[in-house]
């Protein structure tokens, strides 16, 4: 008479009728393979088991990559929707002053940034009453300021979108909010021939919100739309 315990009849029938239940259970398959290796003894090298271990490790890496790709796709979709909503909001105002105030209001809220500032270069000073009324959003700087701000005074090419982390925001741009800014996105603006450049700056208190390693395609698209809207106001 066999001394091995007999498997429960109901369980045995279920396994026979539904073998996929075992095959789909990773932990159970590992236990069966380990039992088989113990039964073969220590003097036998199970090449099939080694191959299965390697395939399993490769499958785990593929699944991890798959999850990362899906997460990145969802993040990109969410970012695209954010930028589209901000653009639609930016197109709503029918007055220039409302347009500028919305930048640091609803547009900043949609983009989830803590400050939005528009810098325009001009050979004139900023004593215009309209500029003073919009001091929190709009600042006027001397020609060459934007290039120096983007390059840090170095002789380096400027890019349309600059993403970086900062120890503190520049008071000339952020004014009272400068002390809280830890990262920023700087969008270089081209208003057309015979016009000085501009710059739209988005500042965040989160130091990880903007960094050079991030993609900038969506912000480049936003900058392109903003340029066209501004050309309409400046015409």
| CATH number for 199 | 3.30.450.40
Q: Is 201 among the domain residues?
A: yes
Task: Look at the chain and report how many structural domains it folds into.
Answer: 1
Q: Is 159 among the domain residues?
A: yes
Q: What is the pTM of this model?
A: 0.68
Q: Is 196 among the domain residues?
A: yes
Q: Is 188 among the domain residues?
A: yes
Q: Is 187 among the domain residues?
A: yes
Long-range contact list for 221-227, CB < 8 A, 24+ apart? Answer: 221/83, 222/83, 222/86, 222/87, 222/187, 223/160, 223/161, 223/187, 223/188, 223/189, 225/87, 225/90, 226/90, 226/187, 226/189, 226/200, 227/189, 227/190, 227/191
Q: Is 200 among the domain residues?
A: yes
Domain that holds residue 138: 95-234
Q: Is 10 among the domain residues?
A: no
Print pLDDT tens along the chain (235 aa). 455 556 777 777 777 787 777 777 777 777 777 776 666 666 655 666 667 677 777 877 888 887 878 877 777 778 889 999 999 999 998 888 888 889 989 999 999 999 999 999 988 755 455 455 556 788 888 999 999 999 987 888 889 999 999 999 999 899 889 999 999 999 999 988 888 999 999 999 999 999 998 888 999 999 999 999 988 888 7
Q: Is 55 among the domain residues?
A: no
């Amino acid at each position: 008479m066999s001394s091995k315990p007999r498997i429960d009849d109901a369980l045995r029938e279920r396994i026979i009728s539904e073998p996929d239940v075992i095959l789909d259970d990773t932990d159970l398959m590992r236990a069966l393979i380990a039992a088989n290796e113990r039964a073969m003894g220590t003097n036998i090298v199970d090449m099939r088991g080694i191959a299965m271990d390697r395939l399993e490790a490769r499958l785990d890496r593929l699944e991890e990559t798959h999850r990362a790709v899906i997460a990145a796709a969802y993040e990109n979709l969410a970012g695209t929707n954010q930028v589209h909503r901000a653009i639609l909001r930016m197109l709503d105002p029918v007055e220039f002053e409302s347009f500028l105030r919305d930048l640091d209001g609803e547009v900043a809220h949609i983009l989830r940034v803590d400050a939005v500032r528009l810098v325009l270069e001009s050979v004139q000073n900023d004593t215009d009453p309209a500029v003073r009324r919009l001091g929190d959003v709009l600042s006027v700087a001397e020609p060459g300021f934007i290039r120096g701000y983007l390059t840090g005074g170095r002789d380096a090419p400027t890019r349309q979108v600059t993403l970086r982390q900062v120890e503190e925001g520049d008071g000339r741009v952020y004014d009272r909010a400068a002390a809280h800014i830890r990262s920023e996105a700087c969008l270089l603006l081209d208003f057309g021939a015979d016009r000085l450049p501009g710059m739209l700056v988005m500042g965040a208190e989160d130091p990880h919100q903007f960094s050079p390693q991030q993609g900038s395609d969506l912000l480049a698209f936003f900058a392109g739309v903003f340029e066209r809207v501004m050309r309409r106001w400046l015409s």
